[in-house]
Amino acid sequence: MTSQLQKPIYAPSFSLFPKSSINPNHLIKHGNPSLISIVPRHHVHQNRNKKNSSSVIRAASGELKSSPTSVSTVNSTENQAFTVKALVTAMSTVEGFLSGISLTRPLDDITDLLGKTLLLELVSAELDPKTGLEKETVKGYAHNASHKDNEVVYEATFTIPAGFGAVGAVQVENEHHKEIFIKNIDLDGFPNGTVNIPCISWVHSKFDNSQKRIFFTNKSYITSETPSGLKKLRESELQTLRGDGGGQRKTSDRIYDYDTYNDIGDPDSSDDLARPVLGGKDHPYPRRCRTGRPRSEKDPLSEQRSGSVYVPRDEAFSEVKLLTFSTKALRSVLHALVPSIETALLDPDLGFPYFTAIDSLFNEGVTLPKVKTGEAKTGGFFQTILPRLVKTITEGGDELLLFETPEIVDRTPPSLSPCV
């Protein structure tokens, strides 16, 4: 007891920082000398007979004094309307002049002159606290602002009302008659800085599909933490990508629905061309993208064949790849076609032996060899590439290089010409 009473009594010390991390000189060097008043410099010796003790903590930080001003600035920005500029970067087509030759091009030019190329709608990530519903979107038309190299920039201006909150998504409607490839959308003018929305997708024309495209900001959420103002849009976008399992697919669709390989045969043309369905319990096989084409008349389990194959729009070849592929395919066809024409002529150096031999190019044609791919023969190969020059005989499956009859030859046959 005696030893305990002889120990000096210290006043209770209080600190906002760990003792090991406190250095007054460090605080002074970093511009916070007023914070030293928070930290006791030494222990205060107190009389043991004094029962009541108190510690006075003073804080006079310059940062703390300025915080009410910063809070009021943010509140004033949220409580009043402000202006936001949107920049939409799109890619121009590589086809150039040929892509502009269409009946709808003048209508699209008029739309550009009116400044209504794209309709943008800013969607708030928050619900209206009064109604509990989604807030009304802020709409604006984007016009053509600049064109450099292969990029076109569209610009739009919005007046954001007070209490709109953060932008969670942008809805886009293409007013043109042709699709547009959009790279990204930048929204400049928000208090927290520029909002970037990556797109990198084709936007269909409103004349092909009235549904607006939805592009979300580049901030990811797990399902349980999705902002309340975006939940319905997220569900709608997911349903669009899944599809409803019905209808025939269009080129502009983005549906990732799958089906069995039920189009590898052609039973309507011949019974020998009937093929089983690949996929399912009998013939397990990976799936393909569902097309929704009409069913075959002879085999209800099979679909009618088509020259084009459906893939979701953003998964299809880009224009550069498609043009390169088509050019190489045409070059391969010409390598096989030109020798066939040369061997069909009796003697290329002598020309045509008589006038009626010229008519044979238009009436009878030149039989082309069948292209072999491995061990199998591919029918209709030349017909697919050159449909106007090559005609297929259905019964035998042969292909003929049959030129269209010129108008002057069709009117005046050589045998009836007065000069002969």
**Where exactly are the structural domains of the chain?**
2-60, 80-242, 253-314, 319-411
- pLDDT, the chain, mean: 73
| Cα separation, 172 vs 120, whole angstroms | 5
pLDDT at res. 211 = 93
pTM of the model: 0.60
pLDDT at res. 149 = 79
**pLDDT higher than threshold 70 for residue 216:** yes
Banded model confidence at residue 16, pLDDT cuts 50, 70, 90: very low
Query: Helix, strand, coil % (nearest 5) of the chain?
Result: 30, 25, 50
Share of the chain above pLDDT 70, in %: 57
| Cα separation, 20 vs 394, whole angstroms | 93
**Neighbour-count burial for 56-78, b at 16+ CB within 10 Å, e otherwise:** eeeeeeeeeeeeeeeeeeeeeee
What is the mean predicted confidence (pLDDT) over 37-46? 43
Banded model confidence at residue 126, pLDDT cuts 50, 70, 90: very high
How wide is the angle at C-alpha 263 spanned by C-alphas 250 and 318, nearest 5°? 40
pLDDT at res. 369 = 57
Instruction: Summarize pLDDT for 92-106 with one digit per residue, the tens.
Output: 775 544 455 567 778
pLDDT at res. 27 = 41
| Cα separation, 46 vs 52, whole angstroms | 10
Banded model confidence at residue 55, pLDDT cuts 50, 70, 90: very low
**pLDDT higher than threshold 50 for residue 20:** no
Which tokens sit at 90?
């799109």
What is the mean predicted confidence (pLDDT) over 402-419? 58
Banded model confidence at residue 340, pLDDT cuts 50, 70, 90: low
**What length is written for the chain?**
420
Does the structural domain 80-242 have CATH classification 3.10.310.30? no
Query: Is the CB of residue 157 less than 8 Å from the CB of residue 140?
Result: yes
The owner of tokens 């075959």 is 296
Least confident of 68-82, 114-128, 254-268: 68-82
What is the mean predicted confidence (pLDDT) over 64-81? 46
Instruction: Summarize pLDDT for 155-192 with one digit per residue, the tens.
Output: 999 999 998 999 999 999 999 998 999 999 999 998 88
**pLDDT higher than threshold 50 for residue 40:** no
- Return the CATH fold of 253-314: Lipoxygenase-1; domain 2 (4.10.375)
Check residues 153 and 27 and name the one with the higher pLDDT. 153
